[in-house]
Structure 1
Amino acid sequence: MSDDMIRLVTIGRIFRWRWRFLAIVAVVGALVGYGASVVFPPQYTASASVLLPGQWEERQLLTQVDIATSSTVVDRTAAKLGWSGVSGSELRDLVSAKAADGNIITISGTSGTPERAQQLSDLLAKEFVSFATRLAGGSAGSTATTGLDDLRQQVVETNRRISELAKASDPGQSVESVQARTALEKLSTSLAEAMTKLNEADPATAKAGMAVMGPAARPTGEAPPTRMQLVVGGALLFLLLGVVGHLVAARMDRRLRTEPEIAAALGSALLGTVEVPEERHAHRPRDGGNRGLFRRVLGIDTRWEPRAPQRAGDEAGRRIRYGRVCARIQDRRPHPRRLLTVVPQGDEIALRAAEQLVAVAENDPSPSSSSGERPMLRVVEVSVDRPTVPDRDTESGALVVLSAGSWTAEELSGIAEACADARHEVVGIVVADRVRALPARSAGPPADDAAPALAARGRATGGSA
């Protein structure tokens, strides 16, 4: 299986087991987005277009964009608007300009109402055209214009002289006279074309032709981000953070999942692995009090990364495995003395496996053991936070039953130390594994011992021993 498929399966498992928690997180994110929309009121943006006739290079258009949003133009706009509490520096953050195709400068203004946004963009466009025209007609522009006028007069005078020379030339039809007149006419035409191009390239003429292409359209919708966008964005952001948090927690998870690791943490031998038919919420910790209620409401009392249950065998096969474990227990403790069966508190799968072991040990002798005697087991749940095991009384050791992937090495080491403090030797370890329960078959009448009696279990809580 590829890594991508594994990741998709993992994310699907998160949504399957933690959908309630993720839904609550998404609602919280939506509320945060709504609160942000209240703190930051909606804004509206209107745009006006200014046409620049003639030929303009790209860098010249960018220069005009900078002029449109310059401090001079914005300050003049703010002074004419006369909005209370809005200065030129504050207004500069509410306006923008960009160059569009066709020598068009689009000027945009943003405000809290559609009317004010339209008024701002229209007045800013007018001030830009006025300032650009005045800038083109400045002192430097006046000098350039005077030079161009002198040049035009010289061209006109030259054309007049050429016409006089053409008339004064030999009116005959000789080849030389015709060529002279033709050359003078071409020279006059070239001067006229050059003068036309010079007039078209005159920056003062071009800039004087700037025009606002109609009033700005009044905006009908809010400028992004809208309130709906903030709400949806907050929900999606918090949902993504929730999924990422689960993935990070899974990456940092230190719970032991293999039998050798569990045996090494408890410092004892593995006696076998038994199967427990899957039940709904069998891996749900049984927390009490307000904390447990809070976890159940949020849906975080259910583990989202349990190992996928294997296909279960029949009831006879499971009883054989329990019987073999009992035989190994009896081989390690040949004398028929009681054993303390320690189960981590909250491990429902291990508790059911321990109860089944007690039932099998009480009802089925162990013919494969050396003595043929039955081990006597007493189940005790021990808190992993502050493990305390009852002191040694009639028991000759402790048997630890737990499920894989539920506890860390530190927690299991604490249970082993608590057993040692209570003078219990850890005889062995039994790992309980979930399996899919097969549908019941209506064969014959059930056996007399098909319904195992549940063992009375104790509870050990308190401080460290």
Structure 2
Amino acid sequence: MQSAPPQPAQLSELAGTLRRRWRVLALGAVVGVLLGVLAWVLLPVTYTATTSVRVVPVDVSPSSGSSPTLDVATDAQLVTSGDVLTAAADDLDTSAGALRRGVSVTNPPDTAVLDIAYTASTPRTAAAGSRAVAEAFLTVRGEAAATTVQELQEATWDRIDMLEDSADRYPKDSPARESILTEAKTLGTRAAELATVDTSPGRVLGAPATPSAPSSLGVLPLGVAGLALGLLVAVPVALTRRDRAPDPGVIASPQDLGTGQGSAVLDGTADASPEDTWDVAALMLDLPATAPANGPVTLLVDGSVGTQSGEGLAEALRRRGLPVRHVDASALLESKIARGWPTDRKKATWTGELVVVDSSALASDALVATLGTRVDHVVLARSVDDDAVAARRVRSLLAVQGVDVALTVLLPRR
């Protein structure tokens, strides 16, 4: 008979694994919290102050009627440029490199405002640094605008001088001379406009407030972050950690099969044959000495595939002189079991019998758990060379359904 395909891990099984290995989780949590506290002790306390600057575009063509363009993203890059940081560093008596490590710039969406933040070890240093960088930015930007306007003026006057020299080569009444002088006059008007251009780069929107609380993380958030990180590492470790491997073919203890508190455990691994183990199991089960007259007694046996666990228990009960019916659940349609088999009508046909329902070959552990809710007793059987994970999964599913395992049987080696 082929082995049933492995079943996916159930949530109840995962929860049970984590409960059994709570020490791993506790260790991960403690180590994580300690790391968080250590980070709080070692990391420096910092303060952050912010200065808001409104950036104004420079209009070099006031008579054109068009709105001047403003590239806030480029201006944000200018804040951390060498010219700005060098100018601010001179005011603060520090280095441009030290300023660069503490400066950050943000642009609120749909605004012409730059928020210039500076982080330092003291509140006053943070406020002074933020203000100095903002003022240096405006100074450098204003100087750049003034230089641009001056260069335009010089280029315009040079063009006018060139045109006037060219006009002198034509007769006074020549149309070409008149056209050149007209162009020179237009450029003269342009030069006059450039002389009136406002090169104001913008303004500071209020002085930066001295920060009253650190911007660095405190012990509580760092401790919580460490706790979360510790559990994040500990959970997969707990789920994948393998218990100490027992001797090949030997289950270290009945607990390896996931037996629950109060469940009886029959360790028949030293018996000469499985028949001896099942004879003891038939005696240990709380069954009537004679066949019941008012209905059947049903037992669900879920064992290792290939061990014929249901047949073994049925034969042991027959040896005690009891009327026993053996039913192989794998011969039934799974949909029939899911709909409620065995029904009360079906059980009525079993009156006066002990009915052993063998679910060992069922491919679904969920169906095994469903059957467990419809019988009087549940027997969980595993041979010593089988992995106990499958048994723990079935027991977890039965526990979720409120079903107790009456007996766990450890069979001899196959």
Q: Taking structure 2 as the reference length, what is the TM-score of the superposition?
A: 0.48
Q: Which has the higher contact order (CA 8 A, sep 6+)?
A: 2
